[in-house]
A and B are shown apart, each in its own frame.
Chain A
Amino acid sequence: MAASGHIELRSVTKRFDQTLAADDISLTIPHGSYCCLLGPSGCGKTTILRMIAGHEAPTAGDIRIGGESVVGLPPVRRGTAMMFQNYALFPHLTVLDNVAFNLKVRGVGKAERHQRAREVLAQVQLDQFADRMPAQLSGGQQQRVALSRALITKPRVLLLDEPLSALDEFLRLQMRGELRRIQRELGITFVHVTHTQLEAIAVADRVVVMDQGRIEQAASAHEIYTLPATAYVARFMGGQNVLAGTVIAVNGGTATLVDGTGARFATPVKSTAPAKGEEISCCIRRDRVDVEKMRAPSLPLGEATNVLAGTVHAIEYQGAYVKVTIDVPRREQFVANLADHAFLAAPLDIGDAVVARWATEDVHLLTGGSNHVN
């Protein structure tokens, strides 16, 4: 379909001199969806975005938009428009001329393009700023101008390069909702690059977590957060504790594993159960962990499963919950997010000896991710 914003990356690789920015990536982004590319600096998300835009060319592989291959086409012929990280508003042009730029380049007459630019600005409530210079606008206003400038080209795909990172926290939260609303209204595909986990799950239909040029997992926001595929995703999203160990028993839908320190964990498994002796990883949500002070000093935990003992390392108040970080000997730190009323009922101090417990059914097996996602 000509107007379709359905994006397909097929085995796309991008090499810069010695570094591999994108490593054999295959990804489908359905038309009209809001997709976030999430990952730390250098993971390749911006490279992917720029290749979709046409500002970089892939070293290998194909990129299709609306069914047609766009590799080699300049940005304007792809039906894509990009919103740059610091907006890149032309400092020498008024807001109106900035927004009308694409029309001017296409040869549209002055009266008509100014008219259309004003209409677009009115949609984001900026029409009274039309004759100002970009420097006179606030960060949030500049962003809306950048958005208008991109949208006036009637793209089928809008590409956003860290659109919210230049804003302060308060505006960021506001603009998040705005972007979501605009995407729904327009019905076009949005591809949004960010390194902020909570932002991604707030706006996106689909989150693609990337690391070192590869896709770790691409799924809905809910799945990424509660059912991560790999240890990397689990750790990156910040809502989970990762537990790893060797399988010692598998009984009817549950596998028991032991890690290097002797702690035992149990995780539900599906039909493809792991074998005894296999090394597996699983994770438990931080907000599904109970923590209480150890009543008797350092009792051996024996055969207890899904229990860890340690000392409180840090306590961080986060409003609705309290983040308790626990030092466990010879293991990575364990984090529990306790509901604030629960914490207040039984407060903890730094240095307290505590026990953390959780239920087996809340544990999730990490099955590993794939670079080829449909």
Chain B
Amino acid sequence: MTTRSSNGRPWTFYALAAFFTLFVLFLYGPMSAIFILSFQGPTGGLTFPMNGVSLNWFKALVVQQRSGDFVGSFSRSIVLAIIVLTITVVISIMAGLAFRYRFRGATAVFYMAIASLIMPGLLLGLGVGLMFQFAHVSPAWFSSALGAQLTWTLPFGLLIMFAVFSRFNRTYEEAARDLGASPWQTLRLVVLPILLPGIIGVALFGFTLSYDEFPRTLIPIGSRNTLPLEIWAMTTDVTSPALYALGTLTTAVSFVVIAVALTSIAVIQRRRARRQRGRTPGLLGDA
């Protein structure tokens, strides 16, 4: 018999909870160091101790310094992320719909997507760079880097759509058809709206994976950097806590995007959730 404490939980609960807490601290702890240091005083250095508190380094970011073009790379990253998110959503939805059928080559495409995911990013970047070089086309953030990033985001999008479609109850489609909807109407009025949480998930992945993407983008980037590459350039040349300020800012942007996406999913699910006992509901769509 397991010994239980007064509220009915075995000792293992407390042990595991402690482990979990340590893990969460492990995840968030170091970032908090950066966060704190970004408010380093003007005379302070890259590590502790703190020499006063200021917004100096945040200001330093906006001023175009010799060590980086932050505003430019930041806006480029955002634009690229939005483009990647749009393309990923559209292509993932289409591919997800395709895989509901049996068709020749399905397994091959599937494995190609998985292989693309597992392949080391730098190598893929190398290949894309070579391709553009042989084609005598200059690489650029909106062409070669975009393509390289898609090889990372599309497989994730595809896997999410698989998970979402497999949980989707086809009876809804039948009901729509029974009520007179054409296949296109069924898709537009029933299937896609019901799958909206999953689609938001794909969009979230598309945006954040692109916004933070580094290995694949490194080689085919062209002449203008995205933000992660600017950061990378700075790390090899770290001279000021401006890097930490940048880290704080970019993390804040990520948090905002995540919060928006997750809140919308939660709101949608709330409205539609049926009361089900004991099952872990799907985060991205339990229709």
Residue of A nearest to B169 (CB): A88
Chain A residues whose CB sits within 8 angstroms of the CB of B49 once the complex forms: none
Please give, as numbers and ranges, the residues of chain A lying within 8 Å of B185 by CB-CB distance: 105
Instruction: State A90–B178 Cα separation when bound (angstroms).
Output: 13
Contacts A90-B175, A104-B189, A153-B180 aside, 10 further interface pairs with beta carbons under 8 A come to A55-B174, A76-B180, A80-B178, A82-B174, A84-B175, A92-B271, A93-B193, A105-B189, A106-B180, A149-B179
Q: Which of B171, B175, B177, B194 makes the CB contact (< 8 A) with A92?
A: B194
Query: Inside 8 A of B177's CB, which chain A residues have their CB?
Result: 55, 74-76
Q: Which of B179, B271, B273 meets A105, CB within 8 Å?
A: B179
Residue pair B179, A88 in contact (C-beta under 8 Å): no
Residues of B contacting A104 with CB < 8 Å?
189
The interface residues of chain A lying within 8 Å CB-to-CB of B102 are: none
In the complex the two chains form, what is the Cα distance from A80 to B175 in whole Å? 12
For residue A101, CB closer than 8 A to chain B, the reply is yes
B223 CB to nearest A CB, Å: 46
CA distance A82 to B74 in the complex (A): 54
Q: Is the CB of B272 within 8 A of A105?
A: no
* A92–B179 CB distance below 8 A: no
B181 in contact (CB, < 8 A): yes
For B190, give its contact among A54, A90, A149, A153 (CB under 8 Å). Answer: A90
Contact pattern, B 180-211, Cβ under 8 Å of A = 1, otherwise 0: 11100100011001101000000000000000
Using an 8 Å CB-CB cutoff, how does the interface string of B152-189 with A read, 1 for contact, 0 for none?
00000000000000000101101111111110010001
- Cβ of A88: which chain B residues have Cβ within 8 Å of it? 169, 171-172, 174-175
Report the minimum CB–CB distance from B6 to chain A (whole Å).
37
A76 in contact with B178 (CB, 8 Å): yes
Q: Mark B247-287, 1 if CB is under 8 A from A, else 0.
A: 00000000000000000000010011111000000000001
> Chain A's nearest CB lies how many Å from the CB of B164?
14
> Chain A CB within 10 Å — which of B182, B189, B196, B287 has the most?
B189
A226 at the interface (CB under 8 A from B): no
On whether A86 and B171 interact (CB within 8 A), knowing A106-B180, A153-B179, A153-B180, the answer reads: yes
Q: Which residues on A sit within 8 Å (CB–CB) of B275? A: 135
Instruction: Name the interface size band of chain A.
Output: 20 to 34
| Least distance between B158 CB and chain A CB atoms (Å) | 23
Query: Residue on A with the closest CB to B275?
Result: A135
B174 touches A135 (CB 8 A): no
* Chain A positions 140 through 162: 1 when the CB is less than 8 Å from some CB of chain B, otherwise 0: 00000000011001000000000
Return chain B residues, CB-CB under 8 Å to A80. Answer: 178
Cα(A54)–Cα(B175), bound, Å? 12
B35 to chain A, nearest CB (A): 39
Q: Once bound together, how far apart are the Cα atoms of A86 and B271, in whole Å?
A: 19
Choose among B178, B196, B287 the residue that contacts A75 (Cβ–Cβ < 8 A): B178
Quick check: B179 and A101 within 8 Å, CB to CB? yes
A76 touches B179 (CB 8 A): yes
In the complex, are the beta carbons of A92 and B176 less than 8 A apart? no
B172 — nearest CB in chain A belongs to which residue? A88
Residue from B172, B179, B272, B274 within 8 A of A102 (CB atoms): B179
Chain A residues closer than 8 Å to B196, beta-carbon distance: 92
**Residue of chain B at shortest CB distance from A149:** B179
Contact digits for A276-304, partner B, Cβ 8 Å, 1 yes 0 no = 00000000000000000000000000000
List chain B residues, Cβ under 8 A from A81.
178-179
A53 at the interface (CB under 8 A from B): yes
Alpha-carbon gap, A294 to B185, bound state (A): 72
The answer to whether A53 and B178 have CB atoms under 8 Å apart is yes
Say yes or no: A82 contacts B178, CB within 8 Å. Answer: yes
Report the bound CA distance from A150 to B274 in whole Å.
Answer: 22
Chain A residues with CB under 8 A of B182: 105
What are 17 pairs between A and B in contact, CB < 8 Å?
A: A53-B178, A55-B174, A74-B177, A75-B180, A76-B177, A80-B178, A81-B179, A84-B175, A86-B171, A88-B169, A91-B274, A92-B194, A92-B196, A105-B176, A105-B180, A133-B272, A150-B179
B285 to chain A, nearest CB (A): 10
Q: A104-B189, A105-B185, A135-B274 are in contact. Are A90 and B172 (CB under 8 A)?
A: yes
Q: Nearest 4 CB-CB pairs, A to B?
A: A76-B180, A88-B175, A91-B272, A102-B179
Task: Specify which chain A residues have a CB less than 8 angstroms from the CB of B268 in the assembled complex.
Answer: 92
Cβ of A207 to closest chain B Cβ, rounded Å: 25
When chains A and B are docked, how far (Å) is the Cα of A53 from the Cα of B232?
Answer: 62
What's the nearest-Cβ distance from chain A to residue B257, in Å? Answer: 24
